[in-house]
Structure 1
């Protein structure tokens, strides 16, 4: 990460698109696995699959736990979590019998199938294993733990300058501040650019917030360096770390001398090209949707259905309430599409269904608002 102080035209912060996908790490351990070996215990390994177009596609495999019916696997699975999708996973266990990558060469010990949503909503999921025919795999169990990998900390900085060098011939400088970080290839990359403050040697920039991982890859002790400005007049640079900047708290300011290396070499009496003062530095966690889910937040799903005649005769195909003998109608398709996602985040799997405008027995008067029933999403098509 680097800071560059320069003067030039007005420009805003360098911002990238928001990442809507969260990376999740899955850890697995098992207990009481079936013993398929005669002279010793099973040598289990686990294979993770995800469903793609109704087919199981392998994601990866763990190491083999030799002679162990209660393995704690060291290999972790990293998967992308999409809240809006049903991500079906299968955890399958095998007893390694031969040096072969073909799974049919190994004895099957059991499996567990669920969605990624079920795992993250439980944070730590403990379930029984089953065989291919659906019967229990003895007393075998599997425990899956989810951990969000994203560093979602953000840093908010408030800076101002004092007695900066004059760069414009007819007026004062138009200073702005740039932040850079060094990539793996050694090149410096722009992370953020403040707004330009016109015609002043004592600029006060607006507070700004950037992701900590963007600023320093999440490493608060990573040194900050500057590679200078190539287009506009260069004023100076300085080096620091997030740890050093974090000292600017509770009304305590941190000052940095802005150094111009060329001027420093030419003039023995040179001190600096001005001072940059960090008034405030706050590092906070920007909680994601998954943080709330992993923290135990549940989502309640309530269905509201319009039973008034405005939707047409349910016996007519043009009606949203059409009772289709060959499938569902538009209402039911919408309920299933949303409910299949939301159900993973609700413990009792029961969703209130509210209706209005229906004629109810025994007097068949039109009801303004009626609680129809409590339904599981998978039986919603029976409404």
Structure 2
């Protein structure tokens, strides 16, 4: 059996397999409330064959929204919509459902895709909100200078993360992922490039790590151990004087000690104009390996993992425990099912799509020449995965 399609455990949560749909912003919410698009998008992800689907970055307070189209989780209306969305998604497969919580920090108040692919600050005529950050340093020329957070502001945001996690629990979420990368607020506290504070929240590594650690502790007080808690963590700023992989390993170990169950390792995006090596397939897998081996934390690899063989190799080489796929599953919403076919695994398909299942029609081999058929026809009759056994299966 392939490693990708063996069951895996994150904290107190057991998944049918080790394939994860990475959180991907859809910029389609209204006042932070999920819309029909989210059901359509996430419904496809639930039928991808993955064992876990993580819902996009969700702001914990209004000024933490990156764009006007971001999801939010600070109001009753947002919580109700999330609960209804999860209720509809549960009937599609046995995949577990996670939610990523974030605060955009100084990168808040930007226009949504497709206004501009990389985003740009909202002009004054569109009534942008004032960003908040550890230090009053604008992201780039033409961007707002953020308000520097004081002690009360920091405490309020920490409390907002915990309050959002409590709402997520009420709505039925299985896993929380804290976004601590991509140049957003938590990453801004972690990096010396954006944190110029001289109080207990800045300066030494221990102080810069404090904000994320306090958020993780606050969430753990309301988030039960039978559900999973993780962090998307920056691995390196790719800049002289910025955060390093050594910093990330030390932080991952501290997070593990405070009850965080896993780390998914990303990198970059702290500032514009940095010289980042060209992205290559699985280019961030070594970062996952570093925290897995040196910090002893469950690790998730992410970043241009485009095919089944690459995912399987990362697991076989001990670089990660789980594989997170983003853009590839947007391109092919049945990525996991096709990956299983390539690896010779027999997964149960949604009954409505059985006509497209491997060996059920002669054109499949031409579309997917690398796919290996299951060993026997009996495998087709008795699938190994119960992901689609019944409506509402968990």
TM (norm. structure 2) is 0.19
Between Structure 1 and Structure 2, which shows a larger proportion of helix residues?
2
CA radius of gyration, larger in: 1
